[in-house]
Amino acid sequence: MRRRLLASNPFAFLKAGRQDNPSRLRFVTLEETERLLAACPPNTEWPLIIALARYGGLRIPSEALRLRWGDIDWEDGRMIVQSPKTEAHEGHGSRIVPLFPELKPYLERAFDRAPEGAEYVVTKSRDSGVNWRTTLEKIIGRAGLVPWERPFQNLRASKETELAQAYPLHTASAWIGNSALVAAKHYLTVREEDYRRAATVPMGEPVQNPVQQSAETACTGWQAKRENPRFAEDCDTLRHPAKGGIRLAGIEPATYGLGNRRSIP
């Protein structure tokens, strides 16, 4: 029509399809998450993978596979998440995510068990094309739950729903790695406990964050193995090295203090 080849739009009567589908949203409660974790095959990385999705809000498998021990800042309680999905957009190739208390024990346990010199947090498979969904659906069934659509994305979306209850939406979206619009259309859900609270708690009283609970006791041994932080060459944010890595001195003289971390002017 812009080129004046048609006098009218032959598709004008068609309605555009909806990208969002609320029926596919499924909030996975903390109690259900614990059942999933308990149903994981023994001596596997599946508890860590599920925790990264549900407690950390990472995309599985792409972001989990890119997470390195050098991306985790244990002292400041945060980690750098590399995102292949958003790296095409300038300034969105990575994001900084808090080291949430409910996620931290799983990372500590994995660090404690990882061999010296290990670079990546998840070593189950370095192939992002491997179908992990089938195994997760078996774990869901083993936990006595009915499998839901988009199992990994709904684990991640459940984390964002909780964060949106406790923090401004732009903050929750920044940590999860999407926009506030995408979060509202594709991630956030109304939970059963929201209805119960609305019917019993007067307006104005503070909302209790459902994930504010005591974390597991840290595994012994992991602290001693992360004493040599360095600056990663591809990011100017403070990182810790791969296990057994050698600390880089940099230009400025090193300042040794708590955890042997380097001070930043």
Q: Is residue 64 part of a domain?
A: yes
Mean pLDDT of 3-11: 88
Question: What pLDDT band is residue 17 in, cutting at 50, 70 and 90?
Answer: low
Domain count, the chain: 1
Mean pLDDT of 180-199: 75
Q: Is residue 1 part of a domain?
A: no
Q: Is residue 8 part of a domain?
A: no
Residue 114: which CATH number? 1.10.443.10
Q: Is residue 16 part of a domain?
A: no
Segment (H or E) for 35: helix 30-38
pTM summary value: 0.68
Question: What pLDDT band is residue 189 in, cutting at 50, 70 and 90?
Answer: confident
Tens-digit pLDDT profile for residues 76-114: 999 999 988 777 666 668 999 999 999 999 999 999 999
Q: Across the chain, what does the average pLDDT equal?
A: 78
3-state secondary structure of 94: strand
Tens-digit pLDDT profile for residues 213-245: 444 433 434 444 444 443 344 444 434 445 654
According to the model, what pLDDT value does residue 220 have?
39
Residue from 64, 61, 84, 82 nearest 131 by CA: 61
Range of the domain at 166: 22-197+213-260
Is pLDDT above 50 for 42?
Answer: yes
Tens-digit pLDDT profile for residues 114-172: 999 999 999 877 665 678 999 999 999 999 999 999 999 999 999 999 999 899 999 99
Q: Is residue 203 part of a domain?
A: no
Is pLDDT above 80 for 181?
Answer: no
- From the CB of residue 46, how many other CB atoms can be counted at a distance below 10 Å? 19
Q: For 207-243, give the DSSP string.
A: PPPTT-SPPPPPPTTTTTT----B--TT-SS-B-PST
- Asked if residue 204 lies in contact with residue 197, where contact means CB atoms within 8 angstroms, the answer is no
Question: What pLDDT band is residue 201 in, cutting at 50, 70 and 90?
Answer: confident
Distance CA 125, CA 134 (A): 15
End-to-end CA distance of the chain: 59
Q: Is residue 238 part of a domain?
A: yes
Is pLDDT above 50 for 62?
Answer: yes
